[in-house]
Amino acid sequence: MDILATVRLYIGEMVAQAGPQMKVLLMDKETTGIVSCAFAQSEMMHKEVYLFEKLDSPVPREQIKHLKCIVFVRPTQENITLLCQELRTPKYAQYFIFFSNIANKSDIKQLAEADEEEVREVHEYFCDGIPLSKHLLSIGMRNPYDASFRLSTTSLLHIKQTIIALTLALKKKPTVCYQRTNEDCERLAGEVAQTMRREDGLYRNCKEDTMLLIVDRSEDCATPLLNQWTYEAMVHELLGIQNNRVTIDGQNLVLSELQDDFYEKNVSANFGEIGQNIKTLMEQFQSKTQIHKNVESIADMKSFVDEYPQFKKMSGTVSKHVSVVGELSRLVGTESLLEVSELEQSIVVDGDHSQCLDRIRVLLNNRKISNLNATRLVLLYALRFESNQSNDINGLINILKQREPAASSLVRSLLRFGGATRRKNELFGGQSAVEMTKRFIKGLKGVENVYTQHTPFLLQTIDAISRGKVNEQLYPKHASSEFVPRVDNIIIFMVGGATYQELFHVRAANERRLQSGGPAILLATTHMLNTKGFIEQLRAMGGGQ
Amino acid sequence: MDGGSTGIRQGFICPFCLVDLGSYNALAAHVENDHPEDANTPAVEQLKGFFDKAKRSIKRFDPGLDIENLRGRVSSGLTAVASSSSMTQIDETSPKQTHQNTPTTTRSNDPTPRFEAKSKSRERELRQRARRPELPPYRPEIGVTQKHTEYYVRCREASVNDLAVRTNTLIIRMDKLINEAPADPAKRKGKLTNPALAAAMQDEDEESAKKAEVRSLEKLADLAQRTSGHLRGLIGSSKGSRDGTEDAAEQLRVCVPCLSLLEKRELQMEARNPPALVSIYERLIILLNEISNLSPAYAKMASSINNGEALYSLSSAEEIRSKIARKQQEIDLISKSIEGDETENMGFRERQLRKNIRFVAIQTLQNVISNMQGLPTAEKYAELAELHRRKVARQVEEQRAIAQRAATTAARAIRSDTSSPEAIPAAKMTPSSSFIGRSVDDGWTPELSHSLHNNPFAEQVEQKHPLEEQRDIIKGYLSQAAAAGRLEEVEMLERNLRDLEIAMREHQIHTP
């Protein structure tokens, strides 16, 4: 399952349907994100698509009568209305309409009545989510929850539509499973299964070798609260990736595995390795050009790139990564991230209460620690030691209040959203004999890297499914969904946002598949989280109480 | 082919540079070394059908080695080629091949030990394969699509018909109005002969001018003329009176809905005569395609010539080079004219559109230029050619010597030593990995045209001489290559055709 390749094929086919001649691509807010992650703008231009317009742009669009227009939009009521207006006063010569999902017959009729003879083709091409990489699809929906921590009606509908389109894009007719402890997941699973039955005709040629698992973020709130050290996850945590783009010093940089070899190779590498890999490239360049210069630190790298423009040419995109890594390393230093990260890991992995409490108190009073990091530590503490009788959550909230006025409301929201009573799982390791033994062995072996000890809860689920041992108590099949005899593919939909750390494990599972088998995994989610985004989500849900 | 004919060259001739290498081993090694399938050079540059087949047949034809070894190699070669289509298929077929074919085809005096050794290594290989899970290579494909065009068109027809009727009625009314109007402009004012239209227009008095719009008679007549041909006569007659200054009398009032109908009509008419930009742009795209097709062919020629090879002539390379240069110039000029200058009056988006077209043209050109290798001067080329000749001759000698040595050792050791065929490095003999990774999307391959074959409906099929048949096929390829603008292939095919015709003369087959 490679959703990025599939979406590229869909978009390529749209262009092919429109045929030769100059073209304009008319999109909505969501489909703009889809196209921008699947193709570079210049790539589209080489396909004779020279202009990109938004259907809902507030500025009236210019009339250019010699253009063919490819319309790629979601079939929402709003878009249908706008399209009718467009067709009544057409700005382009011909229209080729592609809906990203199942459109109502009545809407198509409404369009036809507004049109005279400009429209040549009307299709449904099922790309209704942003393909961020091969194994990752995101809706790009900020905070899908309402104040009661439940999915709002509009988000639920949108998520359902995206899931339906995703299965159709991959030509899969999956069995639908869900996280039993979450009502939204159950409702979603039901609606997806129902739609699949209703649209049976569309699923005619779809394979029955896939499991769709719908889970909720509340199952694991620890992962989005941690600092990350693998490249992609780290960039998102510290700089924020928006549809594969990141902004540094006002400069917009594209981080796409599709167009950037170095990024593709290093996306899962840890912070130390990336610096090493850039250094190796520079040394290769030096030996080729017989330059002798000592490149040791990131600062050296930066000045090297400035001094040797030829390197920029040879290495292509590597110089871009020098500035990204440079910025990361600056932040690691100024915000004492190593110290913070070590403590975070101690909280979620070792869980020695009194030691953690002391260290958090020290860091909360350290001015070098940013407000965000102070908040994350307190939230992690609350999540971890919620049920520890001697915990001092209130004491920490009081210290944090000086930096974060909403401290107590944030902690309350977190515990209501993803606390022990709601998640009903063993997020921080169970008390079973197997778990104990595992921890014991780990203790004997020692840890390789103190900053990356924690693994997301999702990994346990992935491992279990890969071994064919799904806990049917936790993740039952929906009653109205059909049974699939052999599962070779898993689509995990995570409601409420996923992290790049989770994607890291999905990537790893897919790579393992090449060596030793196991199912292919695709991660889909409402949006990509980092700590900042997650805290904002909690803030919105807390409603400032 | 019959021996003794002087026109046909026989022996171990390299199909790429036509040098006789004396022995199979030398030829095979020469092909591997001097004509490697470089994964970096685009597939276009190789006349796929011809070259690949020639190479593969060289690799397969291996008299010096035992058949079993060869078979293993060929089948692994096949698997390498086939692996791109399906891995599971290979796993099923290859064991069958080894177990069924090997014993029967082994020609050696003492087949048993050798067979065992081979099959053991085979088994090991199979076991290794078995340990890996059966993962068919993932081929992304487009997902489900659903087409609604038919339903849409059906829905649209009803409303479009209604609109067409309204527009036509309007045009006919106007026809009458203009046609039956008095020739004298003074009389025309306010005296509409069509009572219905007159009534409609009188409704709109001067005060409600906001709703009504005034259009010149000329414009309307123009519109009407283009819509219904029978108005032409009227235009001709009214032209005389219009040559002077615009007369207020020559204006008609039209209500807003009718005006919008007319405007739509007008726009549709305009769409039928696209602006100049469209045809200029079409020319640009043709040129861009041509240059993208020419440049890889040139790259191949240039690198061969810079190598001192005699496969292409320097003058033909120069010709293509100047052809590319001319096209570059034209592309630059056309795209510049499309971009236009700042003073031209056009909308922001239109300007952006034109800029982007220019951008694509420039980017394509940059790509072409960066891949263009220079050509040596005639003197320098003569030097290079000499160097190359010497190098090849030296290699041929070396290969012959090695082959001879190998032959003698092999003869000595043939009974006991099974590894004698390894005198040729095994790694070099296995099909190169670029066989698998070769992209074919940009290549050009001629297709067998049916017209070249015998008419299937003819009662008596006239049996053609194989050479004659081959000549017809090459001719077909040639015309296809010429049509596709593949200069390189044209040259090669022409050479091929000449050789064939010489051969046919030798065989006293009639050549037209």
- How far apart (Å, rounded) are the C-alpha atoms in residues A450 and A441? 16
CA distance A373 to chain B (A): 42
Nearest-angstrom CA–CA distance, A162 and A141: 11
The dihedrals phi and psi of B375, each to the nearest 5 degrees, come to -110, 145
Q: Which residues of A299-326 are buried (b: 16+ CB within 10 A; e: fewer)?
A: eebbebbeebeebeeebebbbbbbbbbb
Q: Is A514 left (phi over 0), alpha (psi -120 to 50) or beta?
A: alpha
The β-bridge partners of A137 are A131, A524
From the list B141, B350, B359, which residue is nearest A9 (CB)? Answer: B141
Cα–Cα distance for residue pair B283/B287, rounded to 1 Å: 6
CA distance B225 to chain A (A): 22
Question: How much of chain A is helix, strand and coil, in % rounded to 5?
Answer: 50, 15, 35
Concatenating the DSSP letter of every residue in A379-420 gives HHHHHHHTT-TT--HHHHHHHHTTT-TTHHHHHHHHHHHHSH
- With an 8 Å Cβ cutoff, are B349 and A64 in contact? yes
Mean pLDDT by 10 residues, chain B (512 residues): 48 65 70 55 40 43 39 40 35 38 38 41 46 68 94 86 81 76 56 48 42 46 49 38 42 74 74 79 93 88 85 86 92 90 80 93 88 84 89 88 81 55 38 33 50 40 67 76 69 80 74 52
In 3D space, the residue among B393, B341, B507, B493 whose CA is nearest the CA of residue B5 turns out to be B507
Q: Supply the ipTM of this predicted assembly.
A: 0.86
Quick check: B141 and A109 CB within 8 A? Answer: no
Q: How far apart are CA A23 and CA A457, in angstroms?
A: 47
The shortest C-alpha distance from A168 to chain B (Å) reads: 5
Higher pLDDT, A365 or B206: A365
Q: Does A513 touch chain B (CB under 8 A)?
A: yes
Mean pLDDT computed over A112-116: 88
Tell me which chain B residue has its CA closest to the CA of residue A23. B353
Q: Do B142 and A6 touch (CB under 8 A)?
A: yes
pLDDT in the model for residue A421: 86
Are A108 and B152 in contact (CB < 8 Å)? yes
Provide the H-helix boundaries in B83-110.
87-105
Contact A119 B156 (CB under 8 A): yes
**What SS3 class is residue A370?**
coil
Minimum-distance CB partner of B163 among A51, A53, A116? A116
Per the CB < 8 Å rule, is A112 touching B159? yes
Beta strand A23-27 pairing with A49-54 = parallel
Query: Following CA atoms A113, A115, A120, A123 in sequence, which dihedral angle do they give, to the nearest 10 degrees?
Result: -50
The highest-confidence range among A151-155, A271-275, B194-198, B367-371, by mean pLDDT, is: A151-155
Looking at residue A59, its pLDDT comes to 87
Q: How far is CA B372 from the centre of its chain?
A: 20
Determine whether the interchain pair A2/B277 forms a contact, defined as Cβ–Cβ distance below 8 Å: no
B232-242 helix and B149-179 helix, angle to the nearest 10 degrees: 50
Measured between CA atoms, how close is B150 to chain A, in angstroms? 8
pTM: 0.71
Residue A337's alpha-carbon distances to A190, A249, A470, in angstroms, are: 43, 21, 37
Q: Are the C-beta atoms of residues A474 and A524 closer than 8 Å to each other? A: no
Q: What is the pLDDT of residue A78?
A: 95
| Dist CA A325 CA A292 (whole Å) | 23
Residues 137-176 (A) with a CB less than 8 A from some CB of B: 168-171
- pLDDT tens digit sequence for A21-72: 999 999 999 999 999 999 999 999 999 999 999 999 888 899 898 899 999 9
Chain segment A497-533, per-residue pLDDT in tens: 999 999 999 999 999 888 888 899 999 999 999 999 9
Place of tokens 């022990």: A420
Pick from A102, A112, A517: CB nearest B156: A112
B2 burial type by CB count under 10 A (0-12 exposed, 13-18 middle, 19+ buried): exposed
State how far residue A46 is from chain B, nearest Cα, in angstroms.
6
Read off the tokens for A375: 């908040």
pLDDT tens track for A447-504: 567 888 888 999 988 888 888 788 888 899 998 888 887 889 999 999 999 999 999 9
DSSP string, B496-507: HHHHHHHHHHHT
For the beta carbon of residue B136, count every other beta carbon within 10 angstroms.
Answer: 10
Chain B contacts of A116, Cβ < 8 Å? Answer: 156, 160, 163, 264
CB atoms within 10 A of CB A290: 6
| CB atoms A112 and B155 under 8 Å | yes
Q: Are A115 and B156 spatial neighbours (Cβ–Cβ below 8 Å)?
A: yes
User: Any idea what the Cα angle at residue A493 is, between residues A490 and A497, rounded to 5°?
Assistant: 140
A170 → closest Cβ in B143, B155, B159: B143
- What are the DSSP calls for A520-541, one per residue? EEEEEES-B--HHHHHHHHHHH
Chain A nearest-CA distance from B159, in A, is: 6
